[in-house]
Amino acid sequence: MSDAFISIASPILSAAINPLGAELWSLRDAQGRDLMTDADPRWWTGHAPLLFPFVGRSRGDVYRLDGQDYPMPQHGFARRSAFAVMDQSDDNALFRLEADDASRAIYPFDFRLDMAFALTDATLHMTATVSNRGDTVMPFAFGYHPAFAWPLPYGGSVEEHRIVFERPEPAPIRKVGDEPGLIARDSAPSPVAGDSLAPTHDMFAGDALIWDDLASRSLLWGVPGQPRLRIDFPDTPWLGLWQKPGAHYLCVEPWAGMADLVGFEGDVWAKQGIMALPPGDARSFRMDVRVVIPPQ
């Protein structure tokens, strides 16, 4: 791991963050066991990119604002941008990305994106804060994209792992449609039985599973009866689950925003989940990851 990575630790967890993208690169327990992806290049080398200023793909990798088309890569540009390290201590770190000439050429807004990480005992706290430092209303979306180990290092097979939602999730879900990276207009039946999902590699043969009518803001990932990860996302209303079939990770992606629908032709304000941030305002999005030990 590069010396440029920022490391933080608590008595129970340690984390490393790459300032390129302010990307969580690793999360390990006190025994050094990896709780995140192995980033095997046969599947995907990402770890936990931040999705800003848009989530997912814009149709044609272009969005329209005030009658003008702007290029925008899938999931935005923050994940490939160098963040400044604003603060660091043994157990927390703060990273910042601000608008510059390169960003204004494709996203003409004076934004600031602060990404804070803190470790408290068995919990990693992550908070992204988007600020509008300009004088016009700013359209934006934000999402997390962390890849957690599948299987986790606590015993149990791949097939025994479960997503257990905070609440039952009977609502239909969305899937990727016949335009690459765009969301199908038709919904699909929920794969959740009550509050529990038994994921399989085959589920992701057609790309991500997407919940846009989600009751839960928390879930558990792992094998029931073994240590699991509790993932809380109180500020993001939607969720994606994704992997490359056969890989050793499952991405649990809380979103405030989403890719365009198949055939979408509207401007930026008609994109799914776009938020309007007034001048001088800020909005934060929290995600916590906690190792939960079952009672003996």
Q: pLDDT of the chain along its 296 residues, tens only?
A: 445 999 999 999 999 999 999 999 999 999 999 999 999 999 999 999 999 999 999 999 999 999 999 999 999 999 999 999 999 999 999 999 999 999 999 999 999 999 999 999 999 999 999 999 999 999 999 999 999 999 999 999 999 999 999 999 999 999 999 999 999 999 999 999 999 999 999 999 999 999 999 999 999 999 999 999 999 999 999 999 999 999 999 999 999 999 999 999 999 999 999 999 999 999 999 999 999 999 86
Can you tell me the distance from the alpha carbon of 96 to that of 116, in angstroms, rounded to the nearest whole number? 9
Can you tell me the distance from the alpha carbon of 186 to that of 188, in angstroms, rounded to the nearest whole number? 7
How high is the pLDDT of residue 2?
Answer: 47
Can you tell me the distance from the alpha carbon of 75 to that of 259, in angstroms, rounded to the nearest whole number? 8
Q: Which residues contact 128 (CB under 8 A, 6 or more apart)?
A: 50, 52, 113, 114, 115, 116, 142, 144, 284, 285
Please name each of the domains of the chain with its CATH number: 6-153+239-292 (2.70.98.10)
Q: What angle do CA 27, 204, 162 make, to 5 degrees?
A: 55
Number of helices (H), then strands (E), in the chain:
1, 23
How high is the pLDDT of residue 295?
Answer: 84
Phi, psi at residue 79, to the nearest 5°? -65, -20
How high is the pLDDT of residue 1?
Answer: 45
DSSP string, 153-203: TTS--GGG-EEEESS---S-BEEB-SSTTPBPSS-B----BTTEE---GGG
